[in-house]
Amino acid sequence: MCYPRFFIRLFGMSAGPEIIPTLRYRDAPAAVRWLVDVVGFREALVVPGPDGTISHAQLTWGNGMVMLASETDGSDGRLVLETGPGATYVVLDDVAAHYDRLVAAGAEIVQKLRDEDYGGQGYSVRDSEGNIWSFGSYRPGAS
């Protein structure tokens, strides 16, 4: 598969992520701000839509990415997807510090920080539209 040059620059490799969760939001601009300013994602691309909506956004975390957009009825040619709830797992190294950051920001914690039976630590929060974001140090497949 051939990737655009911005993927190569963005991810420092010849290919970008091969699985990218995609979410729809009623208030996508607020979701982008929360994911970037509070959670710590990087804003790679945000394409504004009409009336303050977002047609397409790409937020990165390490070599991973999540795409999101404002909800649509399909009249703009975009795929119709229901808004929330979805669930996404994000791998990070300093889980406790990230947990403290989100607690301090007032995030709705749905699963407190804990040691997992299968390894690592993790916790989960719910965003303003019902999506669950889990953060942990467990890296499936890592030796």
Sequence-distant (≥ 6) Cβ neighbours of residue 62 within 8 angstroms: 91
| Mean pLDDT over the full length of the chain | 89
Q: Is residue 142's pLDDT more than 80? A: no
Task: Please state, for a pLDDT cut of 70, what percent of the chain lies above it.
Answer: 87
CA distance linking residue 52 with residue 33, whole number of Å: 13
pTM of the model: 0.84
CA atoms within 13 A on the CB side of 112: 0
Q: Is residue 18's pLDDT more than 60? A: yes
CATH code of the domain in which 39 resides: 3.30.720.120
> What is residue 20's three-state secondary structure?
coil
Q: Would you place residue 3 in the very low, low, confident or very high pLDDT band (cuts 50, 70, 90)?
A: very low
Please tell me the total count of domains within the chain: 2
**Domain shared by 43 and 7, yes or no:** yes
Q: Is residue 98 part of a domain?
A: yes
Residues 108-129 have a mean pLDDT of: 95
Q: Would you place residue 121 in the very low, low, confident or very high pLDDT band (cuts 50, 70, 90)?
A: very high
**Domain shared by 20 and 49, yes or no:** yes
Q: Which domain holds residue 3?
A: 1-71
Q: Is residue 71's pLDDT more than 60? A: yes
